[in-house]
């Protein structure tokens, strides 16, 4: 498939910096795809991360990205005061304004002003790096710390900025992270779903609504052009996600227990790791599910793909989400999805068409949907899978979404 190119006439593509709190990261393959697609559009993208999580990386593509990424907290502490002093001397008025802004933000946030002074110091480091790299525009992913630093850097006289809001974290603490202020100062803001856009409208002045644009997370041709693998006969489900409270693993295990007690014979693979792994493992023993539920730990993209293809369906009973990329990946591979009717998920998953939507937090609803999936023949599951392939291709093609984002970068430099 041909890559859509920038169609803004006679305009030079800006040099763009991507800023993320942790990048590359196991769960951030969608950012890596977005950057690659933007570079294919002809943009120059520099990668910056506040901190590193190199120890968690297992994907070869993430490890390659790490080599391209500058880490703010790797900046020598011995040079930090000199970096800040240089900003104070060269931009005294801007520094005072940014310092005042940092205090205002810190008074609203539970982390307090001291943390925001640290963010200001990080902004000073980035200001020097952005100037050295001739950065015209900074784009942050997630409206939390990384966007705070981008905004403070802009207040120091640095490049204009934009950011992508994913949820649910940003919507859980709108006032604490000063989301409305970040939107007011930004060139534009990206929501990853119409639901996300509606939530931003709730907290944004009417005059700032035009800044808010929907740009979906997308998949590349490695998924969209994947040769179809038929649904296996074996009753097997897969759950892909960090082992954390919001993903609903404990509810999933309760549903598995009830289905096993009702006579269903099937297996489940949990792909991922996280802070709740020990609790999940203890519950497997308590419920006696060691023979039918396994945990892989962190997995590279190719392993995630392989695990999805081994399954008849993906199950993701999350309590809070934005719009999980793994749902897009499962559908692109022709696997129906069992998931909760929250946030942007119903914009992609339709009950009886390409999966099953369940009531969030309801084990009864989850048991019913999983039972329905396990009772559905592979032929019927394949029909649902084909509907999923079509929907993802229409809504989540990374080349199309990156073309939209690239036009926003160019347009922001004209306004």
Listing DSSP states for 93-149 in one string gives HHHHHHHHHHHHHHHHSTT-HHHHHHHHHHHHHHHHHHHHTT--EEEEESTTHHHHH
248-289 pLDDT tens trace = 999 999 999 999 999 999 999 999 999 999 999 999 999 999
> What is the C-alpha end-to-end distance of the chain, expressed in Å?
32
Please determine whether the domains at 15-218+397-414 and 222-395 fall in the same fold group of CATH: yes
Q: Please tell me the number of Cα atoms within 13 Å of 152 on its side-chain side.
A: 32
Cβ atoms of 343 and 171 within 8 Å: the answer is no
In a 3-state reduction of DSSP, which class is residue 314?
A: strand
Query: Facing residues of 19 across strands?
Result: 48, 140
CA distance 72 to 119: 10
188-219 pLDDT tens trace = 999 999 999 999 999 999 999 999 999 999 99
CA distance 192 to 348: 12
315-369 pLDDT tens trace = 999 999 999 999 999 999 999 999 999 999 999 999 999 999 999 999 999 999 9
| pLDDT value of residue 12 | 67
What global pTM score does this model have?
A: 0.92
CATH class label, 15-218+397-414: alpha beta
140-196 pLDDT tens trace = 999 999 999 999 999 999 999 999 999 999 999 999 999 999 999 999 999 999 999
User: If pLDDT is split at 50, 70 and 90, which confidence band does 1 have?
Assistant: very low
CATH T-level fold of 222-395? Rossmann fold (3.40.50)
Residue showing tokens 């409208």:
201
CA distance 45 to 32: 11
Taking alpha carbons only, the member of 69, 379, 66, 37 closest to residue 219 is 37
382-405 pLDDT tens trace = 999 999 999 999 999 999 999 999
∠ CA 4-10-11 to the nearest 5 degrees? 75
CA distance 262 to 397: 41
CA distance 386 to 262: 30
The ranges assigned to domains in the chain are 15-218+397-414, 222-395
| pLDDT value of residue 8 | 42
């Amino acid at each position: 498939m041909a890559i859509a190119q920038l169609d803004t006439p006679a305009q030079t593509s800006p040099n763009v910096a991507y800023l993320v709190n942790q990048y590359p990261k196991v769960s951030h393959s969608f950012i890596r795809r977005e950057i690659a697609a933007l570079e294919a559009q002809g943009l120059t993208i520099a990668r910056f991360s506040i901190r590193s999580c190199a120890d968690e990386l297992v994907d070869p593509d993430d490890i390659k990205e790490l080599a391209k990424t500058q880490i703010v907290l790797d900046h020598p502490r011995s040079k930090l005061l000199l970096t800040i002093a240089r900003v104070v001397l060269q931009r005294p008025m801007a520094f005072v304004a940014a310092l005042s802004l940092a205090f205002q933000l810190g008074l609203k946030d539970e982390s307090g002003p001291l943390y925001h002074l640290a963010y200001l110091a990080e902004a000073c480091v980035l200001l020097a790096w952005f100037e050295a790299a001739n950065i015209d525009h900074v784009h942050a992913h997630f409206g939390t710390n990384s966007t705070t630093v981008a905004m403070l850097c802009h207040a120091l006289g640095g490049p204009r900025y934009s950011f992508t809001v994913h949820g649910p974290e940003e919507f859980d603490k709108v006032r604490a992270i000063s989301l409305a202020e970040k939107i007011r100062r930004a060139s534009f803001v990206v929501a990853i779903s119409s639901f996300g856009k509606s939530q931003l409208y709730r907290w944004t002045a009417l005059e700032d609504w035009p800044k808010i644009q929907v740009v979906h997370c997308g998949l590349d041709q490695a998924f969209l052009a994947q040769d179809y693998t038929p649904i296996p006969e074996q009753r097997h489900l897969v759950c892909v996600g960090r082992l954390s409270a919001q993903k609903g693993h404990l509810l999933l295990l309760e549903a598995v227990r009830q289905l096993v007690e009702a006579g269903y014979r099937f297996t489940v693979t949990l792909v991922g790791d996280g802070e709740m792994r020990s609790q999940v493992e203890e519950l497997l023993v308590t419920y006696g599910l060691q023979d039918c539920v396994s945990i892989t730990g962190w997995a590279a993209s190719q392993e995630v793909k392989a695990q999805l293809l081994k399954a008849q369906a993906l199950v993701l009973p999350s309590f809070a989400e934005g719009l999980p990329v793994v749902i897009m990946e499962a559908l692109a591979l022709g696997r129906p999805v069992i998931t909760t009717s929250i946030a942007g998920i119903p914009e992609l998953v339709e009950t009886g068409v390409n999966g099953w939507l369940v009531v969030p937090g309801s084990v009864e609803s989850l048991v019913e949907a999983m039972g329905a999936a396990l009772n559905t023949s592979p032929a019927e599951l394949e029909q649902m899978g084909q509907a999923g392939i079509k929907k993802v291709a229409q809504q989540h093609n990374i080349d199309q979404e990156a073309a939209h984002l690239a036009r926003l970068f160019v347009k922001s430099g004209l306004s």
